[in-house]
Chain A
Amino acid sequence: AQSVTQLGSHVSVSEGALVLLRCNYSSSVPPYLFWYVQYPNQGLQLLLKYTSAATLVKGINGFEAEFKKSETSFHLTKPSAHMRDAAEYFCAVTPLGGSQGNLIFGKGTKLSVKP
């Protein structure tokens, strides 16, 4: 069965510092992978997705993620954190590369940004 593991339930960085949020997946077939962001009291917003094209995926708000099959990872990065990036970030995988609809989410990582 597919699953997603997000290392670190809480990450704190200073404004301007590198953001690195970790996601590892397990899948017996090539997966589709996603990062969603949830701002306080709001729904889930798609940041970026990997669907077996380029392994380095650029998303909104300056975020990007790299699919590394050898490491079964899809870590999310941003070179310079901004206060408005404070939110919860969820990594997700779609079973069977999208042929089934349901997303399987990780437990989320709450990002805090210090001034």
Chain B
Amino acid sequence: EPEVTQTPSHQVTQMGQEVILRCVPISNHLYFYWYRQILGQKVEFLVSFYNNEISEKSEIFDDQFSVERPDGSNFTLKIRSTKLEDSAMYFCASSGRVRETQYFGPGTRLLVL
């Protein structure tokens, strides 16, 4: 069964460093998303991406964040200068023609020191 994959599974970085989180969505999907879950809190929407551009973003998704689909398979989230409060589990998701059904990857746990 096709699935969303994410790399790395864990990342530790120093405050102020740039990180890139990678996702490979399900191959025929059209919509791509990033969510995050700070430890002990709810899952929060960050951004959605369709047709090579951002379609929606939340207040969390400020200028420090960017997304890209550099090729036909990868979908990346870049945090330009990480802050302590960026420590969280980051989930990628994708959906196809049935847009509301999103399939989530296993997540990348980011720890900013």
Chain A residues within 8 Å of B, Cβ to Cβ = 32, 34, 36, 42-46, 49, 51, 90, 92, 94, 98, 100-108
Contact digits for B101-113, partner A, Cβ 8 Å, 1 yes 0 no: 1111111000000
Given contacts A51-B100, A102-B58, contact A43 B91 (CB under 8 A): yes
Cα–Cα, bound, A49→B23 (Å): 24
Task: Tell me whether B101 and A102 are in contact (CB under 8 A).
Answer: no
User: Which of under 10, 10 to 19, 20 to 34, or 35 or more describes the interface residues of B?
Assistant: 20 to 34
> Does any Cβ of A come within 8 Å of B51's Cβ?
no
List chain A residues, Cβ under 8 A from B33.
101-102
Task: Tell me whether A45 and B104 are in contact (CB under 8 A).
Answer: yes
Contact pick for B42, options A42, A43, A94, A107, CB 8 Å: A107
Task: Tell me whether A102 and B48 are in contact (CB under 8 A).
Answer: yes
Task: Tell me whether A94 and B107 are in contact (CB under 8 A).
Answer: no
**CB within 8 Å of A: which of B57-87?**
58
Task: Tell me whether B106 and A98 are in contact (CB under 8 A).
Answer: no
A selection of 10 A-B contacts at a CB cut-off of 8 Å is: A43-B4, A44-B43, A44-B93, A49-B101, A100-B56, A101-B48, A102-B48, A102-B56, A103-B102, A104-B45
> Does any Cβ of A come within 8 Å of B14's Cβ?
no
Task: Tell me whether B45 and A102 are in contact (CB under 8 A).
Answer: yes
Contact pick for B99, options A34, A42, A44, A98, CB 8 Å: A98
